[in-house]
A and B are shown apart, each in its own frame.
Chain A
């Protein structure tokens, strides 16, 4: 297998740049792995490490600063057979930190090469996430105020399965890269080198001094035993294979006849836990069982099981335009929280409106007709009030019929729940008859 170096556009480096050695080592790696060029995609970040996609005749993807791992993740999950290699500097490590942590946690089979030269070379030698606090850099004194991070310790603690710290000036870099790429999960190699164009103009850093610093750090030699686990894409495929495909959305057949015509608005005013939204849906389904058009809007706070819950429904035998309710035909008031939320609407109610209210709920006076229900006397629990109110509506043959409500319940609920809802309906019908 020959070199994949792009001879049409020979790489150009500052004299003594570590990236020239990285380029040779990566080319040697491809040769020793016997990969085809079309099996490889190099995803490059921004800065000098962002030139790597142009150095090789492989697939290439060059994008935004710090985001290389995000493209690499999409590419790998779309084409799991690809060998995906990300080149990123210590600048990308900093700005893309959230993506680095997530790539470590996620364990998609990518290889991240951090070309760590301790500064932003391309923009003038400013400090990066790995610049020592005592270095002289293009950011004046600001690097003295921040701690550098050890990319390897960060990656290992974030869950990376394979992490190595290596010097580009030492032997076996191609072997180390081969091991990183062969690792069947996320691997990161923190590859140290110097930036003669910027960093070593003011800081004395040699292969020997780099080695001395590395020897003072915890080792990072490849596999991280505690982080070994399934590769993300394979694991995803394994779980997805056991999932049942979803069919098209279920449809309720229009077989019933609606007792009312025109466009009717219904407001259900309750509190969290009263199954207001489910009741709203049931009412719409009841309408749809008679071929009516239906819309449902809900209003509830971000908390669960606390506060108001309001559902606003429209049923109409013509297409519904505006989905607000200017003058409801029916208001179902079963908790004070919901009533408080729609006080201004209640003030406007006219004499054609029917208010179905619980005896223990205060509804401000209006011109509407009021039908009061003593849910406690009927031994109906709070969470059943909304559905019971629909049964009252059906019992009065207003907007929906009993058959429409039964059709909706049978469509929406399965077995035991449907059965208990139908029992509740009969219970309400019995009380109404009495």
Chain B
């Protein structure tokens, strides 16, 4: 068996290439820069395009233009850059432009701490753009996830024609780990569905009210319209309330009606356990250790590690929490995803362990909350 030694950011870049990514644009920012560095070593020699924008707004603009020309595009930044992406993200949501966005979270608010980790953006990624429509957010826990979930992220972006976020963390992104990428089974690669030959082409006409419209690239033989304005199926601005509402509902339902297809999670359920630990991202690694050590002391505990944060996998959470009376949420912030769990499980006792100190939540800290409340 051979092992490579990679950090999370490098694994994301390799995952992107494995998914067919052929266009990257970004602006340097710690702790996301090594995604850009790695893409710069991978893409240009193989016919791909890798650009450094004059700022984050430009980098996202390059990506959206290239995606509409048919490229599979990636960008990577951290919290301050996500703030600048915001308007472009809402454009990608409303105008159905596939793009994978890596947010290597660092301790905020604002410019915060460039080299300290946190999971402080997990609500921001869902709600940090205008319009209030759902987005997909995947959360890797380690280098393996960085590789695998990046491939899933591209598949979801193509299938649903939407931005897909990878909510990474400095503690995953810049931590090197031994890994055998070739041993990770990857899903089949998904390409966006091309529009059929029936003309005239209506760029936002979908087959039903819960799927993305078939795609044709700007620059092909068939004329294609893209617009950030509220539009009808023809891609022209509209003020017709019925058309507007139908488009908004489809943008909502194209994700919300398919939550099962975009939900990833791991479980470690112990028969008879009365406590379920719910976690995600780098903190899940501490939770795995904490649960193992509890069990070694004869104490029962179950574990749910969410790999999809948004849309919230409500059915999975409710189902796995059903047998327990108590849930412990642990995350690297002061209780952001906790809000979702409290919303879903009003009848459970809910404990919490998390902090914003730049330090990882330790297995010991989680064990204490599980044991002593």
List A residues at the B interface (Cβ < 8 Å): 9, 37-38, 41, 43, 53-54, 57-64, 67, 69-79, 81-82, 98-99, 101-102, 236, 239-240, 243-246, 248-254, 281, 284-285, 287-288, 291-299, 302, 320-324, 326
Contacts and interface: CB of A to CB of B under 8 A. Distances in A.
A62 B68 CA distance: 12
Given A38-B221, A64-B88, A236-B44, 11 more contacts: A63-B91, A67-B57, A67-B58, A70-B61, A71-B64, A74-B63, A82-B218, A102-B58, A291-B1, A323-B360, A326-B364
B182 interface: yes
Contact of A60 (B10, B49, B221, B227): B227
A74 B23 CA distance: 9
Contact of B286 (A59, A72, A99, A322): A322
A243 B45 contact: yes
Given A248-B182, A281-B5, A61 B226 contact: yes
Given A58-B223, A293-B178, A297-B175, A240 B47 contact: yes
Given A64-B91, A249-B10, A251-B4, A59 B223 contact: yes
Contacts of A246: 41-42, 45-46
B289 A78 contact: no
B176 A284 contact: yes
Contacts of A252: 2-5
A72 B226 CA distance: 12
A296 B286 contact: no
B353 interface: no
Give the size range of B's interface with the partner: 35 or more
Contacts of B61: 63-64, 67, 69-71, 73-74, 99
A322 B289 contact: yes
B64 A74 contact: yes
B195 interface: no
Contacts of A284: 5, 176, 178
B45 A78 contact: no
Contacts of A76: 65
B181 A78 contact: no
Closest 7 CB pairs of A and B: A70-B61, A74-B65, A251-B2, A78-B69, A71-B65, A243-B45, A74-B66
Contacts of A239: 44
B267 interface: no
B111 interface: no
B57 A324 contact: no
Contacts of B58: 67, 70, 73, 98-99, 102
A240 B45 CA distance: 5
Contacts of B362: 322, 324, 326
B17 to A, nearest CB: 9
Interface in B25-59: 25, 41-42, 44-47, 49, 51, 53-55, 57-58
